[in-house]
Amino acid sequence: MTQPQVQAKRTETLPKGNFDAVIVGAGFAGLYMLHRLREMGFKARVLEAGSGVGGTWYWNRYPGARCDVESVQYSFQFSDALQQDWDWSERYAAQPELLAYANHVADRFDLRRDIQFNTRVSRASFDETAGRWVIETGDGARVTATHCIMATGCLSSPNMPAFKGLETFAGERYHTGYWPHENIDFTGKRVAMIGTGSSAVQSIPIIAGQAKQLFVFQRTPNYAIPAHNAPLTPQYRRAIKADYAGLRERARKNMTGIDFDYSDAAALETPPDERAREYETRWQRGGLSFLGAYKDLMVDQAANDTAAEFVRAKIREKVRDARVAELLAPKNTIGCKRLCIDIGYYETFNRPNVSLVDVSESGIEAITQQGVKVEGREYKVDAIVFATGFDAMTGALLKIDIRGKGGLSLREKWREGPRTYLGLGMAGFPNLFTITGPGSPSVLTNMLPTIEQHVDWIADCLGYLRDHGLARIEPSEQAEQDWGAHVGELAGRTLRYTCGSWYLGVNIPGKPRVFMPYIGGFPRYIEKCSEVAGKGYEGFLLG
Ligand code: N01
């Protein structure tokens, strides 16, 4: 695997002294957490494995990487000056612009002086006698802090399946979630793409435009809705900035924390011709709001089928070869896996240099020295791109050996699946917080407002502890159990429970099948968190 250059660098020397908080990760969550804590006078330090800020947007540099939430919404709102000063250039920002934004935030709020780069945390253990977290890096250096805050991201642990023969491949290998920093040009090359999730859907059209030949190995087709991406006009930007507060307020009231139009109508109570018009309007508008067309789409299979069939018909219209179109048309529930937002994805399969290889039945037999083997046929390539996703939500946390009271390991605690209270903390792990952890809305919502809500809650909580002369906070077993039951019960009511998605951990062999994010919606979750804090951190043990 071609490694990002940053990996070669040595861990920086850890600072001496004790911190009020150590924050792991310098993505958007880590940056804002540091800003809040410093503003409150806490001594905080961020430890970051990469050589720069940006998290997801630092690592995911594959061609075509771009956010699937509109840029004016996928942005911080904690500083009005920031949102007034920053100009997004496109409806959906591309990775370089998002990374530039993260860097701008770091510079604007002078955050770098408290971030330690090239420092991968390998272990975090709670020292019960001292009441402090001991955070260690791979080379044995350590730092201590009263609080340890994991800002490690939800989709930050790339999944590389154990393909037979993987190590024998003599060509170039890339993973979309771990892309090199130098420009990779596939011009004139034969390329294999393994996977057809969001990362593949975004990168396939770009790679197809460069490569001599692109083979796409598809196990399960995905639904992609057009992005209709476009430059943002000065008039549009002015209008947004004139009422940013209104936009944020409307977004906060929506399930996903995104301001778009959710209908209260039911698909099955709507006449078919009217329904088709509604789908067409949303298709023309583009983006994730397609699934907001009807309130029953994610709870009633028959309703869902109407939207799924609409998209399948669109795929058949776009793809000229009927056999290929049929392979690309998903048969499962739309929205069960996360929707993809595309720019010319299906049309790419009309190109003469692109071939779709169906591996739904056979799987990939092996990676060979020269390429990819399926059902006895070897596809010879110069490069393989693995767009095989992530060990979502728990992967990055479990890569760190996290030990709570009595040496309890998080891996052991989560053997049957993640257990948290509100996705913010775990019983047995005092003073440990997770930003957008499993059990919170996280990946089902717009990540930026969701991050801000968690960071604000944690910052307020630390302020409360300080004001009340308290040194410890930890969820009670009961609160954790009740919350877990509630999260599971809500998930079981939706169609999202019915497919093999990364939300359920099914993409990782041996991972327990548990629906990890909280599906009750952003407004309901915010209310619950505020209620808990308002009642003196109900469900937490304070000491
Ligand atoms: O990963 P995925 P992703 N043999 O898990 C296939 C976010 N994101 O990186 O479906 C053959 O969706 C696998 O097949 P199957 C977004 O939330 C956001 O694309 O398991 N194939 C699938 O096709 C997204 O949902 C943006 O049958 C194998 C693919 O690899 C999430 O990240 C952009 C295989 C993995 O798809 C993950 O997306 C990009 C095997 N052994 C990503 N193992 C934004 O826009 C796996 N696959 C912000």
For ligand 1, whether the C-beta of 392 sits within 6 Å is no
The verdict on the CB of residue 67 being under 6 Å from ligand 1 is: yes
H or E stretch covering 378: strand 377-380
| d(CA 44, ligand 1 centre) in Å | 35
Residue 433 to residue 532: CA distance in whole angstroms: 15
Alpha-carbon distances of 10 from 50, 75, 117, 118, rounded to whole Å: 11, 32, 10, 7
If we measure between CA atoms, which residue out of 288, 392, 343, 285 comes closest to residue 68? 288
Ranges of CATH 3.50.50.60 domains, the chain: 18-157+392-542
In whole angstroms, give the CA distance from residue 71 to residue 32: 18
pLDDT tens-digit profile of 202-242?
Answer: 999 999 999 999 999 999 999 999 999 999 999 999 999 99
Helix axes 522-534, 447-467, angle to 10 degrees: 0
Ligand 1 centroid to Cα of residue 530, in Å, is: 34
Q: Report helix, strand or coil for 42.
A: coil
Q: Taking CA 36 as the corner, what is the angle to CA 33 and CA 39, rounded to the nearest 5 degrees? A: 145
Cα(2) to centroid(ligand 1), Å: 20
Question: Crossing angle for the helix pair 272-285 and 301-318, nearest 10 degrees?
Answer: 60
pLDDT in tens, 302-322: 999 999 999 999 999 999 999
* Mutation pick for ligand 1 pocket among 61, 199, 215, 365 (CB with most ligand atoms within 8 Å): 199
* Whole-number Cα distances in Å, 109 to 27, 53, 96, 242: 14, 13, 20, 23
Residue 156 is classified by DSSP as: -
Ligand 1 center from residue 438 Cα (angstroms): 19
Task: Answer whether 366 contacts ligand 1 (Cβ < 6 A).
Answer: no
Ligand 1 atom at minimum distance from 201 CA: 19
E strand map for 106-255: 115-116, 121-127, 132-137, 142-150, 172-175, 190-194, 213-218, 224-226
For 251-286, the pLDDT digits (tens) are 999 999 999 889 999 999 999 999 999 999 999 999
Q: Residue with structure tokens 């476009």?
A: 230
* Fold of the 18-157+392-542 domain: FAD/NAD(P)-binding domain (3.50.50)
How many whole angstroms from 468 Cα to the centroid of ligand 1? 46
- Tell me which amino acid residue 20 is: D
- How far apart, in whole angstroms, are the C-alpha atoms of residue 93 and residue 457? 28
Q: How far apart are CA 542 and CA 488, in angstroms?
A: 27
Among all chains, which residue has been given the structure tokens 């393994």? 194
Nearest CA to ligand 1 atom 6: 195
Check if 502 has its Cβ closer than 6 Å to any atom of ligand 1: yes
Backbone angles phi, psi at 191, to 5 degrees: -125, 140
Q: Burial level of 481, CB count in 10 A (0-12/13-18/19+)? A: middle
Answer whether 389 contacts ligand 1 (Cβ < 6 A). Answer: yes
Per-residue pLDDT tens, the chain, 543 aa: give them.
Answer: 444 333 334 455 666 668 999 999 999 999 999 999 999 999 999 999 999 999 999 999 999 999 999 999 999 999 999 999 999 999 999 999 999 999 999 999 999 999 999 999 999 999 999 999 999 998 888 999 999 999 999 999 999 999 999 999 999 999 999 999 999 999 999 999 999 999 999 999 999 999 999 999 999 999 999 999 999 999 999 999 999 999 999 999 999 999 988 999 999 999 999 999 999 999 999 999 999 999 999 999 999 999 999 999 999 999 999 999 999 999 999 999 999 999 999 999 999 999 999 999 999 999 999 999 999 999 999 999 999 999 999 999 999 999 999 999 999 999 999 999 999 999 999 999 999 999 999 999 999 999 999 999 999 999 999 999 999 999 999 999 999 999 999 999 999 988 899 999 999 999 999 999 999 999 999 999 999 999 999 999 999
